[in-house]
């Protein structure tokens, strides 16, 4: 049978999602170890979207195959007993044999959190990007609107990106203010490597007044990564949700 699970994790002390050489702590490594104990056989999992070191997830979606007959609750609670405190399963569900966590997802959403205050916060250091300078949120929103729709996002494509095409469709890109925090919310059919962090880095240049909102359009049209802003730090990024034709939970 094939089982899908939701996975929540804080990426601060992980070297990203993907399993690496022995001794490198990754989310995939600890998840597979926990599920293997519940299944009583080695388990290999596949995820909806790999995350980098320091990046968090509210609901990463994974799947794996097993011959072991366990209830949904057993996969969740049995797995969590064997997981460290910075990662846990939130739900489990048996799915059809043709389900694939990555290839069946038709969209994904992320959030990027910014602490916009002159004084840094120790409590937010691992979960927000600290931006001490005043930001023009209206200009950032105006710039963000240029990215909605289908575009070639080569200007925001990371050097190690393996996507076949840089053309993606952004459904929404919102900037929410709450006290001294900003949340950049974005949903698209798919994302390039570092795409969200590169967009945020570009929006911040506009918010600081270094560039105007129309600069975003010229960056997009350039299709050149060198024209965009720097890659924002990883700790502010959260994988929020994957979307499937039939909801999983």
Enumerate domains of the chain plus CATH numbers: 2-103 (3.30.70.580), 107-242 (3.30.70.660)
The pLDDT value given to residue 159: 87
- Confirm whether 52 is a catalytic residue: yes
**Per-residue model confidence as pLDDT tens digits over 152-202:** 999 999 988 888 999 999 999 999 998 899 999 999 999 999 999 999 999
How many C-beta neighbours within 10 Å does residue 239 have?
Answer: 28
Active-site residue (options: 52, 97, 98, 212)? 52
Predicted confidence (pLDDT) at residue 92 exceeds the cutoff of 90: yes
Q: How confident is the model at residue 22 (pLDDT cuts 50, 70, 90)?
A: confident
> What does the alpha-carbon distance between residue 132 and residue 17 come to, in Å, rounded to a whole number?
30
pTM over 0.85: yes
Q: Report the half-sphere exposure of 194 (CA within 13 A, side-chain side).
A: 20
> What does the alpha-carbon distance between residue 107 and residue 114 come to, in Å, rounded to a whole number?
24
């Amino acid at each position: 049978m094939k089982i899908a699970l939701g996975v929540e994790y804080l990426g601060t002390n992980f070297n990203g999602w993907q399993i690496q050489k022995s001794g490198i702590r990754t989310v995939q490594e600890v998840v597979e170890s926990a599920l293997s104990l519940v299944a009583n056989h080695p388990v290999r999992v596949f995820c909806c979207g790999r995350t980098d070191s320091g990046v968090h997830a509210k609901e990463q979606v994974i799947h794996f195959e097993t011959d072991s007959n366990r209830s949904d609750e057993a996969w969740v609670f049995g797995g969590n007993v064997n997981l460290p405190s910075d990662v846990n399963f939130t739900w489990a569900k048996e799915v059809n044999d043709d389900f694939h966590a990555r290839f069946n997802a038709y969209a994904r959403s992320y959030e990027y959190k910014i602490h916009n205050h002159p004084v840094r916060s120790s409590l937010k250091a691992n979960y927000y990007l600290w931006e001490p300078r005043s930001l023009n949120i209206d200009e950032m929103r105006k710039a963000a609107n240029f990215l909605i729709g289908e575009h070639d996002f080569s200007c925001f494509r990371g050097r190690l990106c393996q996507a076949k095409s840089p053309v993606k469709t952004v459904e929404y890109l919102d900037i929410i203010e709450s006290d001294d925090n900003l949340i950049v919310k974005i949903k698209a059919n798919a994302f390039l490597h570092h795409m969200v962090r590169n967009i945020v880095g570009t929006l911040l240049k506009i918010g600081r007044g270094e560039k105007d909102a129309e600069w975003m359009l010229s960056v997009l049209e350039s299709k050149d990564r060198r024209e965009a802003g720097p890659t924002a730090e990883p700790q502010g990024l959260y994988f929020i949700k994957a979307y499937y034709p039939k909801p999983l939970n």
